[in-house]
């Protein structure tokens, strides 16, 4: 039985069968780049080669890192990005519409069976849609933009199965922090991590995106989830239809010699990860009464519509504690507008939240709001590496939006169930 990763790669390289360890050349269905690692990096390479983009309809460009413009340097980067898009006649350009990993699927660019590359380490997010998507650097991206192809070594699969049902207020973020603790940051290095089981199938598409996104924290090349009717419904809402062969990718198998890991979702508690690694996770109860001064709900893992809704369910009728600042950066403009329409943003306003732009922002250490010296932050982002979100002396703890919001209300870190059960 072929794994999902093998099935996707065999389609991309037009082969009946590929095996773990094979090196093959694959046709790329989509290449995504953003303003930080995109045009400003690949343009000079393509100019030296005297080449243009191989297929303008298969390239998506998103501005999300240097947003908003705050200096002459960032202004120049944005101008260069827009000019390059015009020069290459690229129509799939999303300027200041949100974070690339959220914008890409919400605009209907990802489908089961696709083989995609992204110029960002969290590109495995695309795996939530049954697509083989992984991150590459600017030099390799330039090669893809010229040829439309890339070589790949067929990876082994780590099949992570979550059986049973998650308890209330326990999320995909908690699942991933627990997995990071158990496997370690390098535990899935260069492998295909696939998420399966009853609890995974019960997740919304945006929650599944969190799983696939954070496969990167395990060192994995991709984070795959087999497509199903929820995938179809999401794509239909995005204005596209499932491919006719989508059921060919409904595979939840590991090959002989692959690693299989099983979890009981019912026993999982809300998690918090201490500085400076997602693998420093433990039950939120272990961090009870830990002090912090900034609560941050942002990034591609922590500020999608479902994340904003989760935070609002905690904050409704409550106020942020004295001495705590809550900053919210919705992951996309569309998610923000939906949250406004459904009253979610007003709940956050009433609780005392401050709002930032639809961009990577603090998560990637960009902008004026980056963490100051010795600041302690409880964040819904994917990473808490030393100095990533600002000053090297700052400390970042990771948690779900439920946990971040509940802790912001109490003024100390807490298991959200303690106040939600009241």
The band of 250, judged by pLDDT with boundaries at 50, 70 and 90, is very high
Residue 233 has pLDDT above 70, yes or no: yes
**Among 236, 230, 210, which residue's Cα sits nearest to residue 106?**
236
Model confidence, pTM: 0.97
Say what the pLDDT of residue 141 is: 98
Where do the domains of the chain lie, and which CATH numbers do they carry?
4-264 (3.30.499.10), 270-420 (3.30.499.10)
Q: With 90 as the cut, is the pLDDT of residue 257 above it?
A: no
- How far, in Å, are 18, 50, 51, 124 from residue 213 at the CA level? 25, 35, 32, 5
Model confidence band, residue 422 (pLDDT cutoffs 50, 70, 90) = low
* pLDDT value of residue 256: 85
Counting every residue written for the chain, the total comes to: 422
Predicted confidence (pLDDT) per residue in 106-127, tens digit: 999 999 999 999 999 999 999 9
CA-based end-to-end distance of the chain: 49
pLDDT over 80 (residue 421): no
68 upstream amide cis, omega within 30 of 0: yes
- Confidence check: pLDDT of 1 > 70: no
pLDDT at 139: 96
Report yes or no: 144 and 31 within 8 Å, Cβ to Cβ: yes
Residue given tokens 């409704």 in the structure block: 316
- Kindly indicate the confidence band of residue 355, based on its pLDDT and cuts at 50, 70 and 90: very high
Model confidence pLDDT, tens digit, residues 149-167:
999 999 999 999 999 999 9
Mean pLDDT for the chain overall: 96
**CA quadruple 276, 282, 285, 286: dihedral sign:** negative
pLDDT tens-digit readout, 383-407: 999 999 999 999 999 999 999 999 9
pLDDT value, residue 189:
84
Q: What order of strands is seen across the sheet that includes strand 259-264?
A: 222-224, 192-196, 157-163, 259-264
CB 198 within 8 A of CB 163: yes
**Distance from C-alpha of 268 to C-alpha of 174, rounded to nearest angstrom:** 8
Surface-to-core class of residue 151, CB atoms within 10 Å of its CB (0-12 exposed, 13-18 middle, 19+ buried): exposed
Give me the percent of the chain exceeding a pLDDT of 70.
100
Q: Is 41 helix (H, G, I), strand (E, B) or coil?
A: helix
- Residue 121 near residue 212 (C-beta atoms within 8 A): no
CA 324 to chain centre: 26
| pLDDT (tens digit per residue) in 174-213 | 999 999 999 998 887 889 999 999 999 999 999 999 999 9
pLDDT value at residue 420:
85
3-class secondary structure, 90 = coil
Per-residue pLDDT band for 322 (boundaries 50, 70, 90) equals very high
- pLDDT beyond 80 at 332: yes
Measured between alpha carbons, how far is 133 from 222 in angstroms, rounded to an integer?
6
Distance CA 303, CA 298 (A): 5
């Amino acid at each position: 039985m072929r794994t999902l990763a093998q099935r996707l790669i065999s389609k991309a390289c037009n082969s009946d069968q590929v095996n773990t360890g094979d090196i093959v050349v694959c046709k790329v269905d989509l290449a995504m780049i953003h303003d930080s690692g995109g045009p400003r990096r690949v343009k000079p390479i393509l100019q030296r080669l005297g080449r243009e983009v191989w297929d303008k309809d298969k390239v998506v460009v998103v501005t999300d890192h240097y947003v908003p413009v705050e200096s002459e340097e960032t202004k120049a980067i944005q101008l260069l990005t827009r000019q390059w898009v015009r020069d290459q006649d690229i129509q799939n350009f999303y300027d200041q519409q949100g974070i690339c990993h959220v914008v890409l699927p919400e605009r209907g660019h990802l489908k089961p069976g696709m083989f995609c590359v992204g110029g960002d380490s969290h590109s495995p997010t695309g795996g939530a849609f049954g697509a083989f998507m992984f991150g590459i650097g600017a030099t390799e991206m330039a090669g893809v933009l010229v040829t439309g192809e890339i070589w790949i070594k067929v990876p082994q699969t780590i099949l992570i199965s979550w059986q049973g049902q998650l308890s209330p207020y326990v999320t995909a973020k908690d699942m991933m922090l627990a997995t990071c603790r158990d496997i370690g940051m390098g535990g899935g290095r260069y492998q295909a991590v696939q998420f399966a089981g009853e609890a995974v199938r019960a997740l919304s598409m945006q929650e599944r995106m969190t799983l696939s996104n954070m496969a990167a924290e395990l060192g994995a090349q991709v984070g795959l989830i087999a497509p199903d009717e929820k995938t179809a419904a999401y794509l239909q809402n995005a204005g596209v239809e499932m491919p006719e062969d989508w059921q060919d990718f409904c595979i939840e198998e590991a090959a002989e010699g692959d690693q299989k890991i099983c979890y009981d979702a019912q026993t999982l508690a809300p998690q918090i990860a201490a500085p400076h690694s997602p693998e420093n996770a433990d039950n939120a109860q272990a961090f009870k009464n830990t002090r912090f001064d900034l609560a941050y709900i942002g990034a591609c893992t922590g500020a999608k519509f479902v994340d904003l809704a989760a935070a609002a369910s905690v904050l409704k009728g409550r106020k942020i504690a004295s001495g705590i600042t809550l900053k919210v950066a919705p992951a996309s403009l569309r998610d923000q507008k939906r949250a406004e329409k459904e009253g979610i943003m007003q709940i956050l306003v009433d609780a005392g939240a401050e709002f930032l732009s639809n961009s990577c922002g603090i998560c990637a250490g960009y902008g004026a709001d980056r963490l100051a010296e010795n600041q302690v932050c409880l964040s819904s982002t994917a990473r808490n590496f030393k100095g990533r979100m600002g000053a090297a002396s700052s400390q970042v703890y990771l948690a779900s939006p439920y946990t971040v919001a509940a802790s912001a209300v109490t003024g100390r870190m807490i298991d959200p169930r303690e106040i939600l059960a009241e």
